[in-house]
Amino acid sequence: MQPVFLIGDIRLAKEVLEKRATKFSSRPTIPYFHYHVDPTQAYWVFSKQNETHFIGRKLTTGLMATVRAGETEPLQQFEALLNMTHLLDDGGKNWFHHIDRVSASMVLSAAFGLHCPTGQEHDLKEIVACLAELVRLSIPSAIIINVLPFLDIIPGPMPWRKQAQTYRKREDVLYNKLITRAVSGEASGMNTLQSRLHVTAISMHTFILACILYPEWIPRAQREIDAIVGEDRLPSIKDRPRLPFIEAIVRETLRWRPAVRFGIPHQSTSDDVVEYKGKEYFIPKGSIIIAATWAIEHDQERFENHDFFQPERFLDDTNNLRAGYETSAFGFGRRGKLLHQALSLKSPTS
């Protein structure tokens, strides 16, 4: 049995998964996913430390320069305006659909040049369906050979092999079409597509939930926007440094209800010893390390009244943002940093 370590402290998580990334950046093998669903390791985010992983990370790092340079800002502004129009046109009745549409369209437009003005586009529905199936197939307990791997020696067209083959064929058709579109246009082809779609949509849903359950902070947010932006235009990404309370709302949204309960498991590639609260813990080679995202973001030592939505917790006495902001919402290590770059530069008003 492989030892499994759950980490619920952000300082320990950063020590193990970031400062010691050379020992803890690999991924454990999920037999069904790695041998049947993704045998070529195309999803480098889930791959072990090998040549494919390093090439994927290098390519994605280069592509992220597009986001850091602000080249996607006009796209985000356009999608935010279109989303506001849709919400106002139907009186907010279909807000769930509009949020899913805008989050998907922003990501797909940047990645593949695929704009989704209605949310009913065939390619978008296919992507969402493939994503849901990928999530299902990657759950360790979902397929029997993850629990009883010896069953995979049985020859012939077993049900789990048929599922994987069906998924790969469907995905190949879809992504070949999208890649052709990206090559012929100006798109970044982000490898972190699935993660960005999931985190963006869930975070927007969480924001709406916070508005419903804790509406007392909304007038303050409106006053800040009116004071800085005025009433003649919408907020833009350029306004972000002057909107500390809006930024605090974004941070609290990510903290209050993280998009995932646990981070993607890491695996140690060598023995190591870590110290935590005066005690030493031995982590043998091959151990599985999982960051417990929910526990980290609801740590009572860091967040008083942790179960309440209180954006002001991220502001100091002068109503400026507190220094030293840390979050586990995007994961840890180099792969987590890439996702953080891909998502945290979005307009806080989008």
Q: DSSP letters of 68-89? A: HTTTTHHHHHHHHHHHHHHHHH
Q: Are 12 and 296 in contact (CB under 8 A)?
A: no
Alpha helices in the chain (DSSP H): 10-14, 21-24, 31-32, 51-68, 73-89, 95-112, 122-138, 144-147, 159-184, 193-213, 218-228, 244-256, 293-297, 333-344
Q: How far apart are the first and last CA of the chain?
A: 46
Q: In the chain, where are the structural domains located? A: 4-344
User: 209-239 b/e with 16+ CB inside 10 Å = b?
Assistant: ebeeeeeebeebbeebbeeebeeeeebbbeb
pLDDT above 70 for 63 = no
Taking the whole predicted model, whether its pTM rises above 0.95 is answered as no
Share of the chain above pLDDT 90, in %: 40
Distance CA 232, CA 244 (A): 21
Which of 43-52, 260-269, 340-349 has the weakest average pLDDT? 340-349
What mean pLDDT do residues 331-338 have? Answer: 66
pLDDT above 60 for 187 = no
Distance CA 248, CA 103 (A): 20
Task: Please return the burial class of 142, using the count of CB atoms within 10 Å of its CB with bins 0-12, 13-18 and 19+.
Answer: middle
Q: Return phi, psi of residue 36, to 5°.
A: -125, -50
- Predicted pLDDT of residue 313: 97
User: Domain 4-344 belongs to what topology?
Assistant: Cytochrome p450 (1.10.630)
Share of the chain above pLDDT 70, in %: 83
